[in-house]
Amino acid sequence: MDDVTAERDFYLRILQLGQEEKIELLLAEALSLITEISGARKGYIELAAPDDDGEPFSLSKDLSDADVADVREKLSGGIIAEAMATGEVVYTPSAMQDVRFSGRQSVKLKRIGAALCAPIGSPPLGVIYLQGRLQFSPEDKARLALFARHLAPLADRLLRRVQRVRDTDRTLPIRAGLRNHVPVVGRGRAMAKVLQKVRSFAPHDITVLLTGPTGTGKTHLARLIADNSERARGPFVQVNAATLKHELVESQLFGAVRGAHSTATQATDGLVAAAEGGTLFLDEVSEIPIGAQAALLQFLNSGTYCRLGGTRTRHADVRIIAATNCDLAEEVRAGRFREDLMYRINVVEIAMPPLSARTEDIPVLAEHLCRACTGRSPALGGVTLSPAALSALRMAPWPGNVRQLKSAIERAVILAVGAGRSQIAPAHLFAGDDEDEAAPLGFQDATRQFQRDLLLRTLAEADHNVSEAARRLGLARSHIYNLIKQHGLKKR
């Protein structure tokens, strides 16, 4: 390939970088291109986080974690620091012999020879660092400078996008530190606090108590904690204590020897043994009968247990996560729950807020649930939530929380498909359970439904500004407030 063709291809590949819409993919393609063109065996690229509290975006090639640490920290006072400070490409034919860098311990230990480093943008958004070649030519230096200059606006565009998302999604910086195998959906301040606790406590092998109203997603949260613990590769065993037979709870948890009870025709292992090396999630822990609570307390204190009817002590390496929608202190006062067990399972408490405390999450939750529902069947594909429906969902009360919202979405999807609609309307969401959908509405009911739909749509279009909605509808503000109350809508 001649020089002209090589130069043309280089420019074409730089232009192709502009098509990347994710910052991680941009870094991967950029590092691959510049190391290939320069002949560098090793490389590192970093972009500063768009906010002061975030972690930088970085990627390396053929560098160990220790090498990356050297590049970021030990060399940051040398080659990279000089490139960032001067805004110019820094080149050294041999860092070990360069008086600027030879005194650094990492240079001596790694025996770093030729190296190139260029700032990305002015003022710098980040750096590109190259090494692992016997020598770099003046052409390599010029080409790296050109590359960094063209990369800067592409990186700036994606960094600004990240910042816009982070401004609206408070959970994003926290999620970056989580292995989010389970979709715990939410963007607001309340969910950010929950996820921050998960990030802090999940890695530590301690008992966690999840509290909050029914239907808020405590099961998903328990799974997220397990996925981000040292036991992530172990089993995750889930049991709802309310579904266990009271007289057999101890047997189901810890197993039983043959003849221990009327149905124990052979020795059995319990849920604790099944969770060996992993996590046992005890949902509705307050439903465990008082008689079986002593055995659970002993296991939590010592990690040992006996099968029901047995005498041999067994050991299990299991982490317990418990959940309840009850006030355990009240259960203790009523004599239904042991006080010592309450303190033992409540080493760390993470409270899941109800939907009423995080209404900003309702639209994104609704869209997630809608996609999940339509994705299960080709016949339901393509149905989306209309703006008016999203507005109605946010304004409506959800005493059953996410579980109730999920049921409403699933029903609305089916009703919309049955009506031949590609978008879910408020009427699909709040249709009465016993309503005959095929029956024509009377004049009064039709008028009321039209008023409700028009009000919801206008409020959504006016961004919930009552004065603006009143202006658009030609009504007094007081009339709008009366309609909101009349139709049972929740004011934002």
DSSP assignments along 189-251, one per residue: HHHHHHHHHHHHHTTS---EEEE--TTS-HHHHHHHHHHTSTTTTS-EEEEEGGGS-GGGHHH
Domains of the chain with CATH codes: 3-168 (3.30.450.40), 189-353 (3.40.50.300), 357-486 (1.10.8.60)
Dihedral sign, Cα of residue 231, residue 233, residue 234, residue 236: positive
Angle between helices 466-473 and 443-461 (to 10 degrees): 130
Q: 279-303: per-residue pLDDT in tens? A: 999 999 999 999 889 999 999 999 9
- As a whole number of angstroms, the distance between CA 366 and CA 372 comes to 10
Residues ≥6 apart with Cβ < 8 Å to 261: 247, 248, 251, 308, 309
Burial grade of 263 (CB within 10 A; 0-12, 13-18, 19 or more): exposed
- In the chain, DSSP finds a helix count (H) and a strand count (E) of 21, 14
- pLDDT, residue 75, reads 47
- pLDDT, residue 435, reads 42
322, 337 in Cβ contact below 8 A? no
Dmax over CA atoms of the chain, in Å, equals 91
Which parts of the chain sit beneath pLDDT 70?
Answer: 1-3, 51-54, 70-78, 95-112, 165-167, 180-182, 259-265, 431-450, 490-492
What is the CA angle 34-35-41, rounded to 5? 165
- As a whole number of angstroms, the distance between CA 279 and CA 301 comes to 16
Other CB atoms within 10 A of residue 225 CB: 28
- pLDDT, residue 239, reads 92
- As a whole number of angstroms, the distance between CA 77 and CA 137 comes to 24
394, 406 in Cβ contact below 8 A? no
17, 29 in Cβ contact below 8 A? yes
Which helix (H) or strand (E) is 299 found in, with range? helix 290-302
- pLDDT, residue 352, reads 94
130, 136 in Cβ contact below 8 A? yes
DSSP 8-state secondary structure symbol assigned to residue 125:
S
- pLDDT, residue 444, reads 54
185, 172 in Cβ contact below 8 A? no
30, 17 in Cβ contact below 8 A? yes
Which helix (H) or strand (E) is 86 found in, with range? helix 79-86
For residue 104, what are the β-bridge partners? none
- pLDDT, residue 52, reads 56
